[in-house]
Amino acid sequence: MQASVDIEALSQQIQIDSAFLDDINAATSKVIVGQEYMVQRLLLGLLANGHVLLEGLPGLAKTLSIKTLANAVDAKFSRIQFTPDLLPADILGTMIYNPSKNDFTVRKGPIFANFILADEINRAPAKVQSALLESMQEKQVTIGKETFKLEEPFLVLATQNPIEQEGTYPLPEAQVDRFMLKVKIDYPTKDEERQIIKRVISGETLQKVKAVVKPDVILKARDLVKKIYMDEKIENYILDIVFATRNPENSGLADLRPLINYGGSPRASINLAVASKAQAFLNRRGFVIPDDVRNVCMDILRHRIGLTYEAEAENITQENIIDKIINTIEVP
């Protein structure tokens, strides 16, 4: 009885403290036409304290969406354009010699911000990608002998064009796994594209979104997300899904065994649980339901499942495998 009262009180609190979501949606809609799914996924990453990787062809408003969201939050924003000649020091910063003092001082790089737009992240080689690992996981940066904590909220929002295009580098698995969400972006509808054309011709897209929410509001919302109730049955449901990516034969999916090279790591389970809570918050609810898990499952798992050569030869994708797992695992 006490638990149900607490959940009801939490839901009422969420109804009040989630009002800023309407402000952000209203602000972003002034610039972004369509792409509601992408904007909601960016908000999900913001609430769940998880980095987001957007993949799609050029011109689908990936960069614009991230910049617009960052502008809507009154926080420091940095854009890093990834290129083949980029160096780790260009991101993190470096030690600069000061002749007058006869010593070295630290010059901080663009990573020292709240929102980092890593634009076309797969245009830079692995040594540059590795420079992001410590900041994405430990929320800190080491330059020389000094380690600096990054200010919260800290979020890496990256874009990449499909790997098959020339001049790109596959991201290291260790880095890909640090992205909570990998979101695939599709073309707008015909009506949305007509509206885009009208806005561009009239110059409406040139307006800059004003900040509508303070960082402390985001941090308070994150604390509420952590308190959202998750039943043990939901936890088991999450574990069943993730374990099915590792040992599908134990879940009645033996036909997937030849197609999966490796499954989701414990990060997959953690992120699926956290993202499900954040999805419940977006739905203004104080508890997680199976639909929340199913809603975020694809974006959490698609970059955490390795395919075998057999799967690639048969044109089977991670999405096909996840669909089959979700449709097979019993829903609590």
Q: Do 73 and 19 sit in the same domain of this protein? A: yes
pLDDT at 165: 64
Question: Structural domain tally of the chain?
Answer: 2
pLDDT of residue 34: 76
Question: How confident is the model over 294-322, as a mean pLDDT?
Answer: 91
pLDDT given at position 273: 95
Provide the pLDDT for residue 172: 78
CA 265, CA 285: separation in Å to the nearest integer? 28
Spatial contact of 42 and 52, defined as CB atoms under 8 Å apart: yes
258 pLDDT above the threshold of 70: yes
The residues near 66 (Cβ < 8 Å, ≥ 6 apart) are 42, 54, 115, 117, 157, 159
Is 242 in contact with 326 (CB distance < 8 Å)?
no
What is the tens place of the pLDDT at every residue in 196-205? 888 878 766 6
Residue 192: its pLDDT value, please? 82
Assign 222 a pLDDT band (cuts: 50, 70, 90): very high
Report the relative pairing of strands 140-143 and 115-119 from DSSP bridges: unpaired
Q: How far apart are CA 32 and CA 185, in angstroms?
A: 14
Most confident segment among 17-26, 78-87, 276-285: 276-285
Token pair for residue 18? 């989630």
Q: Which domain holds residue 260?
A: 229-328
pLDDT at 206 over 70: no
Nearest Cα to 283, choosing from 8, 48, 6, 14? 14
**How far is it, in rounded angstroms, from Cα 130 to Cα 87?**
11
| Residue 65 CB-half CA count within 13 A | 28
- Checking if the pLDDT of 1 tops 50, the result is no
In-domain check, residue 240: yes
Statement to judge: residues 77 and 199 lie in one domain? yes
Q: Do residue 46 and residue 181 come from a single domain?
A: yes
Q: For the domain that residue 172 is a member of, what is the CATH number?
A: 3.40.50.300
Looking at residue 4, what is its pLDDT?
53
Residues 122 and 174 in one domain: yes
pLDDT tens digit string along 240-250? 999 999 999 98
Q: Do both 57 and 145 map to the same domain?
A: yes
Contacts of 85 (CB under 8 A, 6+ apart): none
Q: Which two tokens stand for residue 22?
A: 């309407």
Which pTM does this prediction carry? 0.88
Domain boundary among 219, 246, 265: 219
The label of the residue with tokens 């134990």 reads 250
- 132 and 207 in a single domain? The answer is yes
Residues 268 and 323 placed together within one structural domain of the fold: yes
Distances (CA, A) of 18 to 43, 144, 283, 285, 299: 12, 41, 9, 10, 23
150-154 long-range Cβ contacts below 8 angstroms, 24+ apart: 150/111, 150/112, 151/76, 151/112, 151/114, 152/114, 152/215, 152/219, 153/46, 153/49, 153/73, 153/75, 153/114, 153/115, 153/215, 153/218, 153/219, 153/222, 154/113, 154/114, 154/116
Are residues 291 and 204 located together in one domain of the fold? no
Average pLDDT over residues 152-167: 79
Rounded average pLDDT over 212-235: 91
Q: Return the residue matching tokens 């000649």.
A: 85
Q: Which amino acid, one-letter code, is at 89?
A: A
Is residue 31 within 8 Å of 68, Cβ to Cβ?
A: yes
Q: How far apart are CA 31 and CA 27, in angstroms?
A: 8
Location of structure tokens 């709240």? 114
* pLDDT averaged over every residue in the chain: 86
Q: Considering 164, 190, 219, which residue would you say is the last residue of a domain?
A: 219
Confidence of residue 164 (pLDDT cuts 50, 70, 90): low
Residue 159: what pLDDT?
A: 86
Check whether residue 201 and residue 262 sit in a common domain: no
